[in-house]
Every structure is written in structure tokens, then in C-alpha cells.
């Protein structure tokens, strides 16, 4: 996790929520009041984002005490206490929603990832995310995927070559695009290309592609691609893959399954922060 980038995101989120101040808290909570509360999950799932939540409160008041009771990557049952937080009631109340927004979102990603990872645990396949992330949150969302047991695909356009369908249109086809990429890529960098059928697999393999992305192929065609390639390139299946078909895809022998749904349109894990009844 890039802490500098995370702190910048937190500042933006706090500025968005607080704006010129927390009118409700300032109106009803005296400045001297201290509070203690528990961050508790209301549904079973995988934890991710505890350090982010801690840093939210620390930006508002460095004296707030945030003690994690579990670790990111842990699976917890409903009702589990994830952390205890104590200190200035005003600061805790003002940071509560931002901290929970990060925590709920990241835990939701980790929980979805873990579920899919477990479905294919018996197969030699790697489950990876995509660049279909929330703008500005990619660093954290990909962290949450790792906490769920998945792996990361490219973080950006500068850490890998993956030739997609629109590249192929302007580059003159699979063979021409792969040759052009291989001509400029460092020897340590793999060149990937997206294909839609077995003819594309053959062309990509002949051109020397290191990774062949099988886009929206049915399982039967993926199995044929695996046989055709015979281990001479990495094969990545992508497109409309989820709980309904991931096991069938994994059975084909493909090396990688990439799923955009790991990070986009994910359901948050229900997590809340409850104060103890007495304030001092």
C-alpha cells in the first residue's frame, strides 16, 4: 500500500465530507468529550482497510487511539469486533463515515475475491483483477484483491504491454501489432494480445506473443486454445466470468482468469461503529 497516495486520498475524502465543518457534531458534542467505540462487522466476510481507517482518524486527531483486533485478510463472522477506537468524540464522529466508507468498500472487494478464489482452489489457475477500478482508488482496490487471495494485473498503462481490440484496428492486426511491440519491449517485459477466436490464437502464437488474452470465449473454445498453445504462451481468460461459470473456465486448464467484477460494482461489507453508552 502506497501510504503517501493513501493519505492524499483520505484528505480528499475528508474535505469532501467535512467541507467547512461538522455542524451536527459541533452543535451537540462539547470539545472536551471523550468517547470509546467498536468497529464491528454486521455480516461475515474478509477484512481489508483497517490501516486506512486508522489513518482517517489520525488525520483528524493524532491522539485518537485505534487498536485493530483482527488483521486485513482475516475472515470474520458477523458481529466480530474489527477494531476499537477511543479519543476525542468530535474527531471520531467527524471521521466515522469516511473511515467506514473505505473499510466497507475494501472489505467488500476482499470478500468477493475470496469467494471466487475458493471456488477455483483445486485448479492451477491464478485469479487476477483488471483496470476496471474506481478512479483514484486503484491502489487501494488492488490491495483489497490481494487481501482476498487474488493477484493484481497491470496497475497502469506503463507497467505492461497488452494489445486490445482497438489497438489492433489501428495497428494493422494481431501479427503486426505483436511484432511492433516485441520490437520495442525490454527483454524482461511480456507482450500480451487480446484475441476473440482460435484463428487469433494461432496468429498471436506465430507472432511470438507471451500472453494471449481469450476475450469472451466459451469454455469449449478455451479448452481448444489450451491444447493449441500447449504451454508456449500464457493464456488468460476474460469477459463475463463470475460465480456462474468460473469453475468451468478453470477446468479448461487456462493459466489466468481476470475479472473486472472483483473491483467494479462490488457490494460493500456491512460494517459499523458503535459508541459505548457512557461518555466522559
- Active-site residue, selected from the candidate residues 22, 194, 203, 236: 194
| Catalytic annotation present for 215 | yes
Four-CA torsion 164, 147, 268, 22, nearest 10 degrees: -110
H or E element: which one contains 18? helix 3-18
Q: Would you say 146 and 140 are in contact if contact means Cβ atoms under 8 Å apart?
A: no
Four-CA torsion 108, 114, 116, 117, nearest 10 degrees: 150
- Active-site residue, selected from the candidate residues 69, 97, 154, 190: 97
- Active-site residue, selected from the candidate residues 11, 42, 71, 164: 164
| Catalytic annotation present for 132 | yes
- Active-site residue, selected from the candidate residues 17, 215, 255, 270: 215
| Catalytic annotation present for 142 | no
Pairwise CA distance, residues 34 & 278, whole Å = 10
DSSP state for residue 187 in the 8-state scheme: T
Taking every pair of Cα atoms in the chain, the longest distance, rounded to a whole number of angstroms, is 73
Pairwise CA distance, residues 10 & 30, whole Å = 25
| Catalytic annotation present for 165 | no
Q: Would you say 93 and 22 are in contact if contact means Cβ atoms under 8 Å apart?
A: yes
Pairwise CA distance, residues 245 & 225, whole Å = 18
Give burial (CB, 10 Å; 0-12/13-18/19+) of 69. Answer: middle
- Active-site residue, selected from the candidate residues 36, 69, 131, 132: 132
| Catalytic annotation present for 72 | no
Pairwise CA distance, residues 69 & 57, whole Å = 17
Would you name the residues annotated as active-site residues? 97, 132, 164, 194, 215
Amino acid at each position: 500500500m502506497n501510504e503517501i497516495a493513501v493519505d492524499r486520498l483520505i484528505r480528499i475524502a475528508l474535505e469532501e465530507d467535512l467541507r467547512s465543518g461538522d455542524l451536527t457534531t459541533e452543535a451537540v458534542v462539547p470539545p472536551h468529550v471523550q468517547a470509546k467505540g467498536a468497529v464491528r462487522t454486521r455480516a461475515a466476510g474478509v477484512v481489508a482497510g483497517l490501516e486506512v481507517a486508522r489513518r482517517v482518524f489520525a488525520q483528524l486527531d493524532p491522539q485518537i487511539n485505534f487498536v485493530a483486533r483482527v488483521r486485513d485478510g482475516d475472515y470474520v463472522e458477523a458481529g466480530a469486533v474489527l477494531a476499537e477506537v477511543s479519543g476525542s468524540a468530535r474527531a471520531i464522529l467527524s471521521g466515522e463515515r469516511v473511515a467506514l466508507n473505505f473499510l466497507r468498500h475494501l472489505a467488500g472487494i476482499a470478500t468477493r475475491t475470496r469467494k471466487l478464489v475458493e471456488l477455483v482452489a483445486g485448479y492451477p489457475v491464478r485469479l487476477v483483477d483488471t483496470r476496471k477500478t474506481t478512479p483514484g482508488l486503484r491502489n487501494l482496490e488492488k490491495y483489497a484483491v490481494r487481501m482476498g487471495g487474488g493477484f493484481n494485473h497491470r496497475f497502469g498503462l506503463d507497467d505492461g504491454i497488452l494489445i486490445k481490440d482497438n489497438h489492433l484496428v489501428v495497428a494493422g492486426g494481431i501479427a503486426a501489432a505483436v511484432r511492433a511491440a516485441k520490437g520495442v519491449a525490454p527483454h524482461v517485459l511480456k507482450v500480451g494480445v487480446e484475441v476473440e477466436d482460435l484463428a487469433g490464437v494461432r496468429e498471436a502464437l506465430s507472432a511470438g506473443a507471451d500472453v494471449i488474452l481469450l476475450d469472451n470465449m466459451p469454455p469449449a473454445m478455451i479448452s481448444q486454445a489450451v491444447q493449441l498453445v500447449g504451454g508456449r504462451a500464457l493464456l488468460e481468460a476474460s469477459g463475463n466470468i463470475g460465480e456462474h461459470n468460473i469453475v468451468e473456465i478453470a477446468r479448461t486448464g487456462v493459466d489466468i482468469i481476470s475479472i473486472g467484477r472483483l473491483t467494479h460494482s462490488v457490494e460493500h461489507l456491512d460494517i459499523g461503529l458503535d459508541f459505548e453508552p457512557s461518555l466522559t
